[in-house]
Amino acid sequence: MTTASLFRKEQELYEEIMSAWHSLGFYRPLRDDETLQLAYQLCTHFYRSSKESLQVSDLYWQLFERLVGYSELSKGVLIGDSWQNYLLDRLLEIETPFSLKASLDEPTGLALRSALAMEYHSLQKLFNLSATWWQQEAEKILGRPLPLWSDLEALPSSQEDWLRTGYLQMKDHLAKAEDWSMELPALGAYYKQYGSGLFSRYLAFRWEGTLIGIEEPDPIRLENLVGYKKQRQWIVENTERLLQGYRANNILLYGDRGTGKSSTVKALLHRFGQAGLRLIEVPKSRLGDFPAIIEATRKSKVPVILFVDDLSFEDGESGYQEMKALLEGAVAVRPDHMVIYATSNRRHLIKEKAKDSLATMQEEELRPGDSYQEKMSLADRFGITVTFLAPNQEEYLQIVDALAAERSLHISKEELHRRALLWERRQNGRSGRTARQFIDSIT
């Protein structure tokens, strides 16, 4: 092959690549990703046979740092090289009309499927740009060797669950597929089983102005929690109503510290995750973001628990007004697929001081009862309040016995109880948490 024909062939490849970048409609958000923006800019320099070696070097090293850092700090298995693995992750996270309708088991029109088939054809061209290709193209311009971003090692994952397995299987299927434009049925089946977008990848999220997926949520199971069976049954039944499509109640889990309130909520994920349940942990400082959270989940209609842990307000804090508005639907109407579960050590959520007493208020306000009731009634706006009181001595020892049996400890009951009671007196008092800490200390 002559130099001229080789040059023409390279130009044709560059034109195909640039055409692929510019043929994204539903997947155009990929172009907004900072890492993929670097890749696009680098491709542009390759296409123009750029002589701007400093810019090419800078772009390559920025892209290298991002892809290698992402791959090395990922958990689980990498599919393809770091470029291919990253592109697959971003592709599966994007919600499209097709993924949303497929997750709801709704049919899609021929025009939509045809357009997506074209986009997948373009995306596969970008996927097929191997790490070696990126390296060699940059080296042509720079005239010096560059590091390769293949042969990387992700972090081991301590949790291998059904969701992660399904996600990796879909990535591997696409990586091995000959023609992505023919893979809509496989993708549709995936979205139907696992959900759309980020909800197909994560069970739990933190809200930080946007959804941040939690790689490894708390592994606690309801089966691992001892005691409080009646309380947990109420919460389970309300959650089942949510999953069945009925209007479910918001729940306040109130009680002493260490009684398993937060663990109960987190354990629901592992009981109902395969039925579609997801959890979004919302810090108290973000309660005003409720409309944005609704918008982030509106299209997918996935059953969601908004989890507010350790909810309480100091005197003068305005956050309780936001919580009140959230519960009453004054900020935005709570959709049927969403509930709020909050935990608190305070029955009324707002810290009471001497000046908040009705007698004191009577000296300062014309209608003191109104202010007092407003402050004390926030908890009443939850549909259900479930109380977790500290166990008595007998209940505490029952929890200790159950945990000891779970760990197969070889110790007499008398000695176990003697040491458990000594532990709770020296530590944090009787609670499920104290019992577990005691068992941990002797295991």
* Residue for token pair 């507010």: 308
Q: Give the pLDDT mean for 400-404.
A: 88
Strands, sheet with 278-281, edge to edge from the N-terminal-most edge strand: 211-213, 204-207, 278-281, 304-308, 338-344, 251-255, 384-388
Could you tell me if 237 and 362 lie in one domain?
yes
* Res. 358: pLDDT tops 50: no
DSSP labels, 221-252: -GGG--S-HHHHHHHHHHHHHHHTTS----EE
Helices (H) and strands (E) in the chain, counts: 18, 7
Query: What pLDDT is recorded for position 75?
Result: 86
Quick check: is 213 in a domain? no
Query: What pLDDT is recorded for position 151?
Result: 85
Where is pLDDT greater, at 370 or 393?
Answer: 393
Query: What pLDDT is recorded for position 159?
Result: 63
Could you tell me if 412 and 315 lie in one domain?
no
Quick check: is 228 in a domain? yes
Least confident of 12-16, 60-64, 88-92, 126-130: 12-16
Query: What pLDDT is recorded for position 366?
Result: 44
Where is pLDDT greater, at 359 or 70?
Answer: 70
Confidence band of 14 (pLDDT split at 50, 70, 90): confident
Q: Which two tokens stand for residue 147?
A: 């590091």
Q: Give the pLDDT mean for 2-11.
A: 73
DSSP assignment letter at 350: B
Confidence band of 424 (pLDDT split at 50, 70, 90): confident
* Res. 370: pLDDT tops 60: no
Pairing of strands 338-344, 304-308: parallel
Quick check: is 207 in a domain? no
* Res. 356: pLDDT tops 70: no
Could you tell me if 313 and 378 lie in one domain?
yes
What is the C-alpha to C-alpha distance for residues 184 and 175, in angstroms, rounded to an integer?
Answer: 14
Q: Are 130 and 81 in contact (CB under 8 A)?
A: yes
Confidence band of 285 (pLDDT split at 50, 70, 90): confident
* Res. 12: pLDDT tops 80: yes
pTM of the model: 0.84
Least confident of 228-237, 240-249, 416-425, 428-437: 428-437
* Res. 286: pLDDT tops 80: yes
Quick check: is 214 in a domain? no
DSSP labels, 132-185: HHHHHHHHHHH-S------S--PBPPS---HHHHHHHHHHHHHHH-S-GGG-HH
The structural domain count of the chain equals 3
Query: What pLDDT is recorded for position 214?
Result: 93
Could you tell me if 237 and 366 lie in one domain?
yes
Domain that holds residue 422: 393-442
pLDDT tens per residue across span 125-172: 999 999 999 999 999 999 999 999 888 899 887 666 788 899 999 999
Query: What pLDDT is recorded for position 331?
Result: 65
Could you tell me if 294 and 409 lie in one domain?
no
pLDDT tens per residue across span 75-110: 888 999 999 999 999 999 999 999 999 999 999 999
Q: Give the pLDDT mean for 383-402.
A: 89
Q: Give the pLDDT mean for 56-78.
A: 94
* Res. 410: pLDDT tops 90: no
Where is pLDDT greater, at 366 or 313?
Answer: 313
CATH code at position 320 = 3.40.50.300
* Res. 292: pLDDT tops 70: yes
Could you tell me if 277 and 154 lie in one domain?
no
Query: What pLDDT is recorded for position 345?
Result: 85
Query: What pLDDT is recorded for position 215?
Result: 87
Could you tell me if 88 and 144 lie in one domain?
yes
Quick check: is 68 in a domain? yes
Q: Which two tokens stand for residue 261?
A: 């309130």
Could you tell me if 170 and 246 lie in one domain?
no
Quick check: is 435 in a domain? yes
Query: What pLDDT is recorded for position 10?
Result: 78
Q: Are 216 and 269 in contact (CB under 8 A)?
A: no
Could you tell me if 236 and 192 lie in one domain?
no
* Res. 393: pLDDT tops 80: yes
Final residue of a domain: which of 373, 388, 403?
A: 388
For the chain, the straight-line distance linking the first and the last C-alpha, in angstroms and rounded, comes to 72
Could you tell me if 330 and 435 lie in one domain?
no
DSSP labels, 120-134: HHHHHHHHT--HHHH
pLDDT tens per residue across span 41-50: 999 998 887 7
Q: Are 194 and 93 in contact (CB under 8 A)?
A: no
pLDDT tens per residue across span 306-353: 999 988 877 666 667 777 777 776 667 888 999 999 998 877 666 655
Could you tell me if 313 and 417 lie in one domain?
no
pLDDT above 90 as % of the chain? 55
Could you tell me if 318 and 427 lie in one domain?
no
What is the C-alpha to C-alpha distance for residues 195 and 189, in angstroms, rounded to an integer?
Answer: 10
Confidence band of 182 (pLDDT split at 50, 70, 90): very high
Q: Which two tokens stand for residue 254?
A: 């109130």
Query: What pLDDT is recorded for position 312?
Result: 80
* Res. 174: pLDDT tops 90: yes
* Region for 157 from its dihedrals, namely left if φ exceeds 0, alpha if ψ lies in -120 to 50, beta otherwise: beta
Q: Are 347 and 254 in contact (CB under 8 A)?
A: yes
Quick check: is 212 in a domain? no
Q: What is the mean pLDDT of the chain?
A: 87
Final residue of a domain: which of 201, 232, 250?
A: 201
